[in-house]
Every structure is written in C-alpha cells, then in structure tokens.
Homo-oligomer: A and B are copies of this chain.
C-alpha cells in the first residue's frame, strides 16, 4: 500500500493509516504535537477549540469500547462533534455496501472517519475511495496495523528513555496475530531504536519475521537480557483452544512476565502492555501494578496521541 496516500502534496499528514512509509521527521512531529496536548491534561479546562464545527465519525465495524472511548474523548477535547456508529449491528444490516455507507456519510459533510475493522486494509480502502476533503484514521484493521497504538507506545517510551539510538525493546507474545506488534516494530525502527526483539513461541511468530527488522528469541530468559523496554502483548484466550498454544498455565510459565523474569532485564526497564491485560496469563499482577509498569501512562498518552493525529490530519484539509 502506498505511503503517499497518507500525505498531501506538501508531505503533511492527511490520513493516518499505517506507520509504513512515514519518516522519522513525521513521526517526531506527531510525538511533539502530542506532547503539547499531554501537558494540557493536568489543567482544569482540557478542551481546546481546534476542531470546533468539525464532524468526526467513529466507524466501528469491530466492537471496541475502550478504543472508541479514547477517540471519542480526544475528539470532544478538540471540540469536534462526534458521531459513533457501531456498524457491526446497524447500517449494513440493510445490505448496504461499505462504499455506499461511506458515500452517504460523506454527503452529510463529515470531516473525518475513525475506522476500526476486522479486515486488513479496510482503512486504506476507505481512504482511497473517500472524498478528498475527508481524513481517515486507522483505529485497527485486521492483523495489519494499529498506528495510534504504536505512536502512543513510542511516545511513552520517549518520556522515559528519550535516546532511541541506544534503546533495546522486547515485544513478547502473540506476534503472529498482532496488528499492534507490526506497527510498534515499524515505529521503533523508523525512530532508530538500537534493537527490536520479538520473544515468542514459534507458533506465534509470522514466517520470515526477521524481515520486519527484528531479532528473534524463543526463550524469555535469554530474550530479556539488556532490555530497556518490555512490551507484553495481550494473549487472545480464544487461541488457547487451538493447536497454536499449550495450556494457559504452560504459556504463563514460559512467556508470562513475573517479578523474577523482570529482573533479567535492565534494572530501569519499563513494562508496557496495550491492554486490556490478562492478569496471570501474560503478565503477573505484581508486575502489572509494579513500579516499572507504565501501562496506565500509555492509556493517558493515548488521548494526547489521538488529539495530535486528528488535529494534524484536519489541518491539511485547508479551505476544502
């Protein structure tokens, strides 16, 4: 998929669909913009009038209360009007095609689609086919991409470890099915991380995973050595019944992050998780709530990152 689709003629962010094709400067601009919003969060009035009069439509073809809520909050704090549509249960029930749904919403003069879809490429498809004045933000598409999650993750890392050139990050768990991991790897490599490691059983790694620019470990004890940032992935419990995985307790024994395992990493390593966490499955509750965990900081930063990409994308709309 073309990275040009995401940028306007001046190279500014028009859509935010994937980390792929965005350069270090642009990712840094997103992080810096988010920083200005993050500073605002402690204030009394957190609302800014940047997107007043703009209409943002949350198009959620997959149900995700948490992600929808963060986008809704971010939009409201930018003073936009938000319409949330749970498409899974509504519009297409009358047999309307995705494209017709999009065309109709366009015709209602909306300014932005935030798209969550179970199929890889859905947000790209909408961005390719939507009216020129509309921006599309990918809120997760199939196994492909979840770029705002990756950006909030690198934003959080930068708060604690500002020097990416010496940074060693381990991503642990179900890499195979994770759009989050794909986006994180791209963002970390673009920002010049010294090393991105993936640690997982072979059954949960994509074929030729090294080509993504990662080193690979199948053993947690070995993989955690010299690590600055540990990113745990959520284990989808529904995979547990398949041939991919042994039992839950077996998985926890091998790949669950316990206080003991955490000691293998650098002493000032931070622990991250995109949430929602499965306590006792991929992460020990003492680690999740421990002093090295920055999991809730990630959630906070999610609002700032979403405000940043929404306001940046809307700025490229000019007088359209």
Contacts and interface: CB of A to CB of B under 8 A. Distances in A.
A302 B108 contact: yes
A69 interface: yes
A284 interface: no
Interface in A61-109: 63, 65-66, 69-70, 72-73, 76-77, 81, 83, 85, 90-91, 94-97, 100, 103-109
Contact of A83 (B44, B69, B299): B69
The listed residue with most B CB atoms (<10 A of its CB), out of A100, A104, A275, is A104
A110 to B, nearest CB: 8
Given A65-B90, A108-B300, A303-B109, A278 B70 contact: no
The listed residue with most B CB atoms (<10 A of its CB), out of A76, A108, A275, A303, is A108
26 contacts: A41-B109, A44-B53, A45-B52, A46-B55, A55-B73, A55-B76, A65-B91, A66-B91, A69-B83, A70-B108, A73-B83, A73-B108, A73-B110, A91-B276, A95-B237, A95-B278, A96-B275, A96-B277, A100-B276, A103-B296, A104-B275, A104-B296, A106-B296, A108-B299, A108-B302, A108-B303
A231 B196 CA distance: 59
Contacts of A91: 65-66, 276
Given A94-B276, A300-B108, A53 B45 contact: yes
B107 A296 contact: yes
A217 interface: no
Interface in A285-302: 296-297, 299-300, 302
A218 interface: no
Contacts of A243: none
A9 interface: no
Contact of A299 (B53, B104, B237, B299): B104
Interface of A: 41, 44-47, 52-53, 55, 63, 65-66, 69-70, 72-73, 76-77, 81, 83, 85, 90-91, 94-97, 100, 103-110, 237, 275-279, 296-297, 299-300, 302-303, 319
Q: How many copies of this chain does the complex contain?
A: 3
Contacts of A55: 46, 73, 76-77
A84 to B, nearest CB: 10
Contacts of A297: 107
A177 to B, nearest CB: 15
Contacts of A104: 66, 275-276, 296, 299
Given A69-B85, A83-B73, A100 B303 contact: no
